Amino acid sequence: MKKKIIPVVVALVLIAIVGIVGFGGKILDKYTYSKELADLDEYYGVAEGELAIVLQDEMVEEKAVLRDDAVYFDLDTVERYLNEGFYVDVNEQKLLYTTAVDTISTAFEGREYSDRNGSYATAYATCYMQGDTLYVAAEYVKMFANYSYALFDRHVQMYTQWGEKQTMEVSKKTQIRVLGGIKSPILRQLEKGEKVEVLEEMETWSKVKTEDSIIGYVENKRLANASVETETPVTDYVPEEYTSLSLPGKVSLGFHAIGGEGGNDTLAAMVAEGKGINVIAPTWFSLVDNEGNFRSFASSQYVEQAHGYGLQVWGVWDNFNYKNETGADVSSYQVLSSTAKRRQLAQSMVETSLGLGLDGVNIDFEGLTVECGEHYVQFLKELSVLCRESGLILSVDNYVPFHFNDYYRLDIQGRVADYVIIMGYDEHWHGSGDPGSVASIEYVSNGLDRTLNDEQVPAEKVVNALPFYTILWQTEGANVTDQYITMNNVADYLQRMNIQPEWDETTCQNYAEWQSGNTTYQIWVEDPESIAVKLNVMKAKGIGGVAVWRLGYGTPEAWDLIDAYANY
């Protein structure tokens, strides 16, 4: 009997041993540190020649490139994180950067850059084009942005801000892992005494960054000697300061519409009407071709006469009057997207202004496309440099800002121009087929708020232009037509039609609507009452002045209001 029991016992013991070993192995495996190494290419998401970017303490989605031992960022990355001031001329194969006083230029694949004082060699290609993407050397970008960068095996560390950071020392040789947990793959070994920056402390693990900018997780029990360090800011680059010219008080500008040289003879009459103005802006200049040439109705005698009245003269350059008059094929894009044409236009504007004795340049470029936006902004930058050094006031006319016209970049205009003029009208415009107010109070007020708050244009640089006209809308069925009526004629017109408008609190204008046959007539009147409300809003917002479109349209009562506003 004993002989039969012994084999059974032995078998049971063996089964038990195997079970214990198996269970123990699972327990052991559960608490054993993984030795698996992370795939660093996969961790950083890089292919050959690419570098991950660690910005501050986070890896961003953009990648850098290593080329001939130099680090390069694509221009989108530069603009997003470092400086959006670069301008690319694909046709002339140039990268430009305009400061307050100069434009720095470098050629694609070039190993030098130049400014007005000369050329300067670099030990690297400043930029290069690959497909449709321009890459700019990180070292070249440092000339125009305050940041630091350091190159490592598969990544580059960038800092644009500096402050205090919490650090700890590695107390015992250990590993930094992809995630918190002993089974997570290892990024690299950490030696005793290494210092790490603690990014996030958890119960048993902490998210840290090593001195070679590897971000991962380390067990808390392997960290000791916490301290706080103050980072040393990089101050290699000092942003340029933009100086501005301004009038002693508020701007009070009257646009003088001149359609020919004979229009200059009306100056005395316009000045007699425009009570309180200190600037007159004659519409003298208009683009005539795709080379940047312009026609001129200018008169030095006009300038001398205006100065005799105590007025500054800001000549108006537009991109539409000649085109509208003649049907000529004038493309603003063709002019402004060419560095050579753009510079020649700016230089001609300044030389012409100085030759006439003008006090300022007013730019009224309308109808620009999204594609033209960046070229227009570069033009304003380059023109501002020339105006600044020549003592000419630069003012720029703009639509009321909305998201669909933000490529006019009022924020940049607010830096480079002396005055940003908001054309606070055309809420409903001639030919739109959409009856409504030319300039309701909500439209004007919200437009100024967006200019001041969203676009961050300094209040003292903002000038709001008021309409001294209204539109009479005529609707017959689905057909809508309209006609302009100037402020100095609207009262007589309504009296002849035996119409008495009533005050509308929503638009803060006198409104009238009547029927004649099958036609419905509507008019939102611009008169001294509506102008007074607008001026009160402008006064409350503390902006830099008022402009009027246009001289010859106003009434004495309205001009009295302008005079009082400009001199309060």
Task: Please tell me the distance from the alpha carbon of residue 256 to that of residue 282, in angstroms, as a whole number.
Answer: 5
Longest dimension (CA), the chain: 138
Cα–Cα nearest to 43, from 153, 148, 151, 201: 153
* pLDDT value at residue 132: 96
Q: Where are the domains of the chain?
A: 42-155, 162-230, 251-468+527-566
The residue-averaged pLDDT of 329-337 equals: 98
The answer to whether the beta carbons of residues 544 and 460 sit under 8 Å apart is yes
Q: pLDDT tens, 391-423?
A: 999 999 999 999 999 999 999 999 999 999 999
- Cα 535–chain centre separation: 28
Cα separation, 65 vs 155, in Å, equals: 9
For the domain bounded by 42-155, which CATH number is listed? 3.30.457.10
Q: How far apart are CA 458 and CA 544, in angstroms?
A: 9
CA separation for the pair 96, 80 (Å, rounded): 17
**Would you say domain 251-468+527-566 falls under CATH 3.20.20.70?**
no
Using the CB atoms, write b or e for 352-387: b if 16+ within 10 Å.
bbeebebbbbbbbbeebeeebbebbbbbbbbbbbbb
State the Cα–Cα distance between residues 330 and 319, nearest whole angstrom: 8
Residue 568: per-residue pLDDT? 85
Condensed to tens digits (0 to 9), the pLDDT of residues 287-329 reads 999 999 999 999 999 999 999 999 999 999 999 999 999 999 9
Give the CATH class of 162-230: mainly beta
Per residue in 155-213, pLDDT tens?
Answer: 999 999 999 999 999 999 999 999 999 999 999 999 999 999 999 999 999 999 999 99
Arithmetic mean of pLDDT, 418-439: 97
8 A C-beta contact, residue 175 and residue 186: yes
Which of 18-32, 104-118, 242-256, 442-456 has the lowest average pLDDT?
18-32
Amino acid (1-letter code) at residue 175: Q
115: part of which helix (H) or strand (E)? strand 112-115
204-238 pLDDT per residue, tens: 999 999 999 999 999 999 999 999 999 999 998 98
Contact 497, 514 (CB under 8 A): yes
Alpha helices in 82-144 (DSSP H): 138-141
Of residues 18 and 489, more confidence is placed in 489
Angle separating helix axes 528-541 and 441-449, nearest 10 degrees? 20
Question: Is 391 exposed, middle or buried (CB count within 10 Å of its CB: 0-12, 13-18, 19+)?
Answer: exposed
Label residue 152 by pLDDT band (50, 70, 90): very high
- For helices 528-541 and 556-566, give the axis angle rounded to 10 degrees: 10
Average pLDDT over every residue of 336-364:
98
On the question of pLDDT at 22 being above 60, the answer is no
What is the spatial distance between Cα 344 and Cα 386, in angstroms, rounded to a whole number?
A: 11
